[in-house]
């Protein structure tokens, strides 16, 4: 049941809101929380009922472990056991299939192995509960209400792909009586955020995906992409991933606000960053907060000297890349390694510039920095979408012009002097053999994406009045795209 589906928008969400506030109006807050937990479990079971078992085991296990970690003897032993159990569960579902394949090929065991399917949201709610265990150890405090803890983990707006919430942000809100009463202010704030996020998904991300998927499929099949194809695929995916994921984050924040719950922001206009370090601080902010607080700082952060800081950065980014991966290839490891090296270079450049008193405050310095940051990110994201490192390398060669050049038939017809010198597109049929309207739509989507990502203020920096004004033109288009476009497209981050 996707946020952009008819079942969710027209049936599940209104019914869940009605039941929650009806119980709250009858002054039954515990039943209201229980209702929201049951609704969240139903939402999760909609995908696959068996996955409820994994989620329930994780919740019960971590709630029990938190009691041992917070008080009593051998607290550190219980903490290590809890973190190990969570990571073991995550590693099993992520890497059982490739590990089996590797062992079977080496030893020729002939096992009758059933493919392990990773439960949705496992990475997100596992990290969330690891943070809870660590903080229970640090503060000697734990949540006393099991039902509130269940809601903290299962709250459906952020259960599947985040944001990764912190218990100090959520649990006090569940104990606030004002949450159980409907508020016009919350609806005025939540609905524009939800529909603007829906607009990002159905009006920008999904159409871009339809154009670039053939190019990546051709690359996965071993065909080389030419200059135009490679750049179209890379730029298209760079904007598709941003508007798909940030659209989901906006929708989750908007839905939670309808219930009176405020979720943390996950994006802060990352494509307006002037360095890769800044971009990572503004992209998937709750994940990077987790990696900073529970990986980078415990490793020593920047407290142990410049060389140790570089090692810590590299380890943190490699783990960040592996968190996104499924173990089937090396693409996410290389992605993490690449960005670790880029962040080290970024830090060295910043230190050198500060040591030599070089200031970059002019408008063209800012523009060049932003462009270099975006292009670095764009090249790196090829690893996110490509099936193998070899496929990503071939796309990079295409972006550098090493695989030759090709243009859509529509452009070749307008530039006859290039015919005979430049080939027509072969691997993007939606552009190559389509109408002029198809090419125009793709270019218009890229320009719209660039304008929104590079120059516009993000949704959370707009005033309430500005959001309401934007709601009017986006509401009809988003609803039309979500309810009348056939089967809704899945969100890209579901695979992580």
Q: What does the alpha-carbon distance between residue 83 and residue 65 come to, in Å, rounded to a whole number?
A: 10
Beta bridge partners of 305: none
User: What is the token pair recorded at 247?
Assistant: 């659209």
List, by residue number, the catalytic residues. 324
Beta bridge partners of 424: 407
Q: Is the dihedral of CA 330, 332, 335, 339 positive or negative?
A: negative
CB distance 36 to 30 below 8 Å: no
CA atoms of 132 and 166, how far apart (whole Å): 7
Distance linking the first and last C-alpha atoms of the chain: 17
Q: What residues form DSSP beta bridges with 422?
A: 419
Cβ contacts of 141 within 8 Å, gap of 6 or more: 70, 135
What is the dihedral angle through the alpha carbons of 430, 432, 433, 434, rounded to the nearest 10 degrees? 50
Cis check: omega of the bond before 163, within 30 degrees of 0: yes
480, two tokens: 């039309």
């Amino acid at each position: 049941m996707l946020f952009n589906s008819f079942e969710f928008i027209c049936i599940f969400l209104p019914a869940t809101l009605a039941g929650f506030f009806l119980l709250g109006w009858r002054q039954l807050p515990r039943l209201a929380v229980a209702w929201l937990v049951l609704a969240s479990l139903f939402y999760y079971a909609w995908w696959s009922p068996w996955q409820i078992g994994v989620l329930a085991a994780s919740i019960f296990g971590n709630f029990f472990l938190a009691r041992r970690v917070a008080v009593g003897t051998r607290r550190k032993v219980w903490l290590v056991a809890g973190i190990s159990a969570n990571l073991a569960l995550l590693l099993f579902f992520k890497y059982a299939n490739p590990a089996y394949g590797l062992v079977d090929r080496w030893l020729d065991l002939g096992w009758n192995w059933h493919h392990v399917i990773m439960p949705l949201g496992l990475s997100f709610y596992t990290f969330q509960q690891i943070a809870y265990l660590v903080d229970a150890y640090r503060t000697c405090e734990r949540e006393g209400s099991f039902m509130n803890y269940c809601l903290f983990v299962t709250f459906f707006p952020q259960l599947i792909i985040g944001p990764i919430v912190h218990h100090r942000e959520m649990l006090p809100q569940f104990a606030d009586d004002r949450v159980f009463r409907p508020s016009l202010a919350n609806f005025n704030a939540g609905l524009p955020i939800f529909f603007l996020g829906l607009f990002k998904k159905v009006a920008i991300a999904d159409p871009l995906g339809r154009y670039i998927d053939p190019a990546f499929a051709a690359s996965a099949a071993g065909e080389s992409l030419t200059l135009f194809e490679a750049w179209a695929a890379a730029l298209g995916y760079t904007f598709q991933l941003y508007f798909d994921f940030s659209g989901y984050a906006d929708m989750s924040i908007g839905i939670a606000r309808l219930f009176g719950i405020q979720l943390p922001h996950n994006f802060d206009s990352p494509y307006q960053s002037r360095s890769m370090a800044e971009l990572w601080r503004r992209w998937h902010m709750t994940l990077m907060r987790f990696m900073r607080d529970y990986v980078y700082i415990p490793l020593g952060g920047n407290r142990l000297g410049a060389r140790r800081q570089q090692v810590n950065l590299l380890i943190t980014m490699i783990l960040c890349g592996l968190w996104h991966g499924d173990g089937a290839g090396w693409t996410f490891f290389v992605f993490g390694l690449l960005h670790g090296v880029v962040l080290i270079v970024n830090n060295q450049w910043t230190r050198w510039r500060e040591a030599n008193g070089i200031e970059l405050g002019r408008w063209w310095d800012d523009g060049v920095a932003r462009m270099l940051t975006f292009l670095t990110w764009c090249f790196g994201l090829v690893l996110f979408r490509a099936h193998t490192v070899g496929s990503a390398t071939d796309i990079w060669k295409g972006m550098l012009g090493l695989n030759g050049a090709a243009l859509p038939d529509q452009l070749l017809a307008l530039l006859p002097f290039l015919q005979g010198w430049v080939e027509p597109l072969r691997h993007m049929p939606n552009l190559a053999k389509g109408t002029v309207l198809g090419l125009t739509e793709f270019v218009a989507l890229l320009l719209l994406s660039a304008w929104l990502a590079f120059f516009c203020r993000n949704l959370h920096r707009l005033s309430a009045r500005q959001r309401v004004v934007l709601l009017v033109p986006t509401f009809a288009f988003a609803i039309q795209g979500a309810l009348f476009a056939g089967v809704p497209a899945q969100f890209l981050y579901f695979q992580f």
